[in-house]
Amino acid sequence: MLTIYGVYRSRASRNYWMAEELGIAFQSVPVLQASRLDNPMSPDALLNTMSAEFLAINPMGMIPSIKDGDLVMHESLAINLYLARKYGGPLAGHTAEEEGLLAMWTMWAATEVEPYTVAIVRIYDRAQDDSEAGKAGIAVACRSLKRPFGVLEQHLQNQDYVVGNRFTVADLNIAEVLRYAQTEQALFDSHPKVKAWIERCQSRAAYRAMQETRGKEPV
């Protein structure tokens, strides 16, 4: 059985959503970010990214990780590409060309988009969004996102999804990266195709199931 290490309030959400989409059985091992604990090294601390038990799985001390049989993998977006390839179906590439495009768009999300969306969500997580420094940081991130948003907007002009005009792992991966910026409504309002696309992605039953579980976790 697939084992996913990580809480839902982390990048592990991507893997939990993917597992729900594929309809596969999985075990969730909640591993908390060490930064959320006062003393993560305490003997009675909750399982976290600095716990010896978890470092034996991922020496980098980052979530998520998975174990699938004898395979251990890290990096949430790569994990989803692996799961799509293993289990097939509409979320996977149907040709070598589609496989290449799924990888390309996933890498694009990781390199061209995520640094800025993460910057936004971290400002909110630290309750700095109303400070002058926080507002300035959000403004810089939004300016940096205009170009990749414009690229995706143009790509979606004549299709509902990113690859093969069907919902695939590429849509899931990109949507989860862009979710971090959904506080910035003006950014999405100025890119109506992107806004409609992410709403389609997030209307899926598997996404709602993931978010329902995520909502039950402590903030």
In order of start, what are the domains of the chain with their CATH numbers? 2-87 (3.40.30.10), 96-206 (1.20.1050.10)
Distance CA(216)–CA(134), nearest Å, equals 28
Q: What is the pLDDT of residues 80-103, one digit of tens each?
A: 999 999 999 999 999 999 999 999
How many percent of the chain have pLDDT more than 90?
100
Mean pLDDT along residues 59-77: 98
Reading across the β-sheet that carries 26-29, which strands appear in turn? 26-29, 2-5, 65-68, 71-74
Mean pLDDT along residues 19-43: 96
Mean pLDDT along residues 131-157: 98
pTM exceeds 0.85, yes or no = yes
Q: Which two tokens stand for residue 184?
A: 């910035």
Residue 219 has pLDDT above 90, yes or no: no
Q: What is the pLDDT of residues 167-218, one digit of tens each?
A: 999 999 999 999 999 999 999 999 999 999 999 999 999 999 999 999 999 9
Mean pLDDT along residues 151-161: 98
Q: N- to C-terminal Cα distance for the chain?
A: 28
Helices (H), the chain: 12-22, 52-55, 76-87, 96-108, 114-125, 132-155, 169-179, 185-189, 192-202, 205-215
pLDDT computed for residue 46 by the predictor: 96
Query: Mean pLDDT in the chain?
Result: 97
Cα–Cα nearest to 187, from 135, 149, 130: 149
pLDDT computed for residue 157 by the predictor: 98
Cα–Cα nearest to 18, from 168, 203, 179: 168
pLDDT computed for residue 86 by the predictor: 97
> 122-131, long-range: CB within 8 Å, 24+ apart, which pairs?
124/183, 129/183
